[in-house]
Amino acid sequence: MSTPILPIERSSPVERRPPVESVLFENVELSFENKNVLDGISFRLARGETKAIFGVAGSGKSTILKLALGLLKPDAGRIVVLGQDVNAMSEDQLFELRRRVGIVFQESALFDSLTVRENVAYRLLEEGDIPEAEIEKRVREALSFVELEHTVDLYPSELSGGMRRRVAIARTIITEPEVLLYDSPTGGLDPVTSNTIIELIVKQRDVYKTSSLLVTHRLQDAFTLGTHYFDRAANQMKPLPPNSRTEVPMGFLILRDGHIIFDGELNELRETQDAYIREYIS
């Protein structure tokens, strides 16, 4: 079996350059109604890397994504996304940054009074200066990526949960963002549909080399991301061959009580001796 082509192939340590980060959190703190949600959170997301964020309910996982996009402001700390200090930017300035950062919300957050076409084309329509034919072409491409071209004239209420999630992904990728934020993209879905969503995420990672933060409760989704790649020739997700020299750029972050208790790679997670983490991943 030939070695698969992956986004990053590690060469010798001498030639390795430190990756430029897409997202940087430094000592970020945030409280809601006198309750500390995030307390001194620091981590980096390298270019082209996917980082899965785990934690119990209410541990601040979704909050991290909203902070990265400037939808929330931290009480303290620094957040840099694609080289720009998010805290120092006004809402108008953030609009331009958000063109390069996409987010898939937990419940899809599709606009229920608009059709699938209008949802997916939303940002392009708002810009106002893109020809209709170009918009139609890009909508078709985005829906083709998630294999939902046939739903273009339907409303979100006429779609299943999995289909809404896929339309949300199409809406997010239509502007070809450099960073993607996924908030529980497989939450509440059956295993088959979840696998379809994860395959799309792997495809987006490996074909378009986007950096991603993935909030999830499902360990198997993150492990799948860390052990699979997207085969363009076969147009499907495949497991990495055992003993392969190449690695998928995948990291894991675990939150507990507002702190990061683990920030590392898959093999480090498997070998950790921390009792809480071992119980969490068991």
Partner 1 sequence: MELISPTDFAKEKVRSVQDYSLLAVRSLGNLFNRPLYIADMVQQADLIGFGSLPIVLAACFFTGAALALNSASTLDRFGAMTVIGQLVSVGIVRELGPVLAGLVVAGRNASGMASELGSMIVTEQIDAMRALGTDPMKKLVTPRVASTIVMLFFLTILGDLLGLVGGAFVVRLVLRLDTHQYWNSTWQTLEFSDVFTGLTKPVVFGFIVATIGCYYGLTTKGGTQGVGLSTTRAVVASMILIIAVDVFITRVLMITLGS
Q: Are 205 and 7 in contact (CB under 8 A)?
A: yes
32 in contact with partner 1 (CB under 8 A): no
Pairing of strands 21-32, 76-81: antiparallel
66 in contact with partner 1 (CB under 8 A): yes
Compute the distance between CA of residue 48 and CA of residue 211 in angstroms, rounded to an integer: 4
Which of 84, 106, 195, 244 forms a contact with partner 1 (CB under 8 A)? 106
Least distance CB 59 / partner 1 (angstroms): 19
103 in contact with partner 1 (CB under 8 A): yes
95 in contact with partner 1 (CB under 8 A): yes
Stretch that binds partner 1, among 48-56, 87-95, 192-200, 233-241 (CB under 8 A): 87-95
Cβ neighbours around 190 below 10 Å, total: 12
112 in contact with partner 1 (CB under 8 A): yes
Compute the distance between CA of residue 35 and CA of residue 139 in angstroms, rounded to an integer: 42
Compute the distance between CA of residue 278 and CA of residue 282 in angstroms, rounded to an integer: 6
What's at 257, amino acid-wise? D
130 in contact with partner 1 (CB under 8 A): no
Which of 171, 203, 205, 218 forms a contact with partner 1 (CB under 8 A)? 171
Q: Are 250 and 263 in contact (CB under 8 A)?
A: no
The smaller minimum CB distance to partner 1, of residues 64 and 266, is found at: 64
The smaller minimum CB distance to partner 1, of residues 40 and 187, is found at: 187
Collapse the DSSP code of 243 into the 3-class scheme (helix H, G, I; strand E, B; otherwise coil) and give the result: coil
Structure tokens of 71?
């939808």
The smaller minimum CB distance to partner 1, of residues 66 and 217, is found at: 66
The smaller minimum CB distance to partner 1, of residues 84 and 106, is found at: 106
155 in contact with partner 1 (CB under 8 A): no
The smaller minimum CB distance to partner 1, of residues 98 and 205, is found at: 98
In 119-149, which positions are buried (b, 16+ CB within 10 angstroms) versus exposed (e)? bbbeebeeeeeeeeeebeebbeebbebbebe
The smaller minimum CB distance to partner 1, of residues 108 and 224, is found at: 108
Q: Which residues of this protein are in contact with partner 1, per CB under 8 A?
A: 66, 69, 71, 91-92, 95-96, 98-99, 102-103, 105-107, 109-112, 122-123, 126-128, 171
